[in-house]
Chain A
Amino acid sequence: MGNKILMKGAEVLGEAAVKAGCRLYFGYPITPQNEAPAYMAKRLPEVNGTFVQAESEVAAINMLYGASAAGHRVMTTSSSPGISLMMEGVSYCAGAELPVVIVNVMRGGPGLGGIGPSQADYFQATKGGGHGDYKIITLAPTNLQEQADLIFKAFDLADKYRIPVMILSDGLLGQIMEAVEYKDEIKPEDLAKKEWAATGRDPKREKNLINSLDLDLDGLERHNHKLQKRYKEIENTEVMCEEYKTDDAKIVVVAYGTTARIAKTAIDKVREEGLKVGLIRPITLWPFPSENIKNALQKENVKAFYVFELSAGQMIEDVQLCVNAKKPVNFYGRLGGNVPSPDELAEKIREIY
């Protein structure tokens, strides 16, 4: 405790999961997150855990489905093309109300794309991604300490709401090294027992069924309403967002993850020149911090928003929904795995200021 350890981003994902009480990991190789399965293959046997290299991402997510159905904390990590393959399973997890933690170390797409950092899977993560009316909680770390902290948070939220939780990391956060402190160490045996899990039946209780099928139209409608009610509760209680120098800002930058980190440096630079610029950094992408955007919109001093992303413009749509065309929403994005420098973003800010 209290010790900072220098670690690579993908390995931080693994160690944080172990410390959060996860003893089961299923995954499939894909760059730029290969250090995560390699770490788990070595680390999990030390704590009597299980690592399985699945035959595909399709199989991996279904192994998560099974392990979660059996009442255990379980995680996978992958990158964009692999996450696409998992979407069927994520939809099933959402339907069957199974808590699983999935990390997407995003890389450039579409298709096989490239292996550089990207944020082009925002729509996929925050709007459902698979079939059916569902949401998954989506968390976006901006540095490795937060990447570690959000893994703990992800497992807690998944268990609390019986919902899949996705960490939206990226090729940069997967590959850099930083000093990280693990704030807790949870023993799996100390976690609350999941009474709903399929563990073999005690004849004294009802049968436990993990299932997303209901051929009765009204039954399925009721199930959907139950899920929607839970999503509303999550929207009301679980929003996380950082605001940076927004009090007097004329321009409010909205950015998350890696881009927010670069934007912060850019904001510090232009502030030295007297430009009043602030940052709203969503930490939960779903639920989206709409209130933060709406509050900024109400302020006299805020003249415009500026959304930075490593995509052609995805989160901007959620910002626009909040702004509702009442003030300008500008956009600048880099694509293909390219990452802007702080100077590049600073110049963009100066152009519209």
Chain B
Amino acid sequence: MNDMKQIFKVTPLLTKTKRSYCPGCTHGVIHRLVCEVIEEMNLFEETVIVVPVGCSTLSIHYFEMDTVQAAHGRAPAVATGVKRALPDKTVVTYQGDGDLASIGTAEIVHAATRGENITTIFVNNGIYGMTGGQMAPTTLEGWKTTTSPFGRDYKKEGYPIKISEMLATLNGPAYIARTSVHNPANIMKTKRAIRKAFKAQKEGLGFSLVEILSTCPTNWGMSPVNSLKRISEETMKYYPLGEYKSVEGL
């Protein structure tokens, strides 16, 4: 036993509190990636995390970092206030797609275009989870939700919004990437993207955002395994993965 080497441990930046997330939800994986990057970059003591309204509101109890809970969609404005007060600290927003891409579009667009030196983790599963599965601005064609019971019809409900592509048109962002957590390889890629986003902030290069395609087995009405398949078979086709912006020198 003595010659066994520890090659994996749970990051101490996550609390031991029992999680509220459903089985198969990818918030847990993404929380872990964010905390691991903060730990590895030695940013724990200087990080303030701003959490949104949605399923991940409950993350107020899950991070060991100082935490600020923001009103629905307003996390980028709240983070702007924190960062302007504490310019040397690392400020992160963690937001879902209902929060960021619907009610919070003004705040995210303007934080991005100001080049606000903060990092946004944008978790996109194409549905409102916390409120029980309503259509989101990111819901894809044909997806049945409580407010698109016959399946989303682009002619009636319009088209899903592509946040990463939109924000990449602005001059303020230093780094914009879309990744996924549907398999181990992509989880590792997501972690690299998160690290790059934090690096952009540490180097004062401007706004950074990682959009992470994720699941909602409960409200999608699918098993966790089929939910992960759906990302690669449907979601990624409308939301292609990749770096949409990465300033020179990053």
Contact = CB atoms under 8 A, between A and B. Distances in A.
A211 interface: yes
Contacts of B114: 52
A59 B78 CA distance: 8
A64 B60 CA distance: 20
A210 B65 CA distance: 12
B63 to A, nearest CB: 8
A89 B71 contact: yes
Interface string B107-135: 10110001000000000000000000000
Contacts of B79: 66
A63 B106 contact: no
Contacts of B110: 54-55, 59
| Among B74, B84, B90, residue most surrounded by chain A Cβ atoms (within 10 Å) | B84
Contacts of B69: 96, 209-213
B26 interface: no
A210 B47 CA distance: 14
Contact of A69 (B45, B57, B82): B82
Given A50-B84, A213-B57, A62 B48 contact: no
Interface string B63-94: 11111111100100111111111100110000
Given A70-B89, A207-B64, A209-B66, 4 more contacts: A24-B85, A50-B85, A59-B110, A207-B67
Interface of A: 24, 26, 50, 52, 54-56, 58-60, 62-72, 74, 88-89, 92, 96, 198-203, 207-213
22 contacts: A24-B85, A52-B84, A55-B107, A56-B106, A58-B106, A59-B74, A66-B77, A66-B78, A66-B79, A67-B84, A70-B89, A199-B86, A200-B47, A200-B90, A201-B44, A201-B66, A207-B63, A207-B67, A209-B60, A209-B66, A213-B57, A213-B60
Interface of B: 44-48, 50, 57, 60, 63-71, 74, 77-86, 89-90, 106-107, 109-110, 114
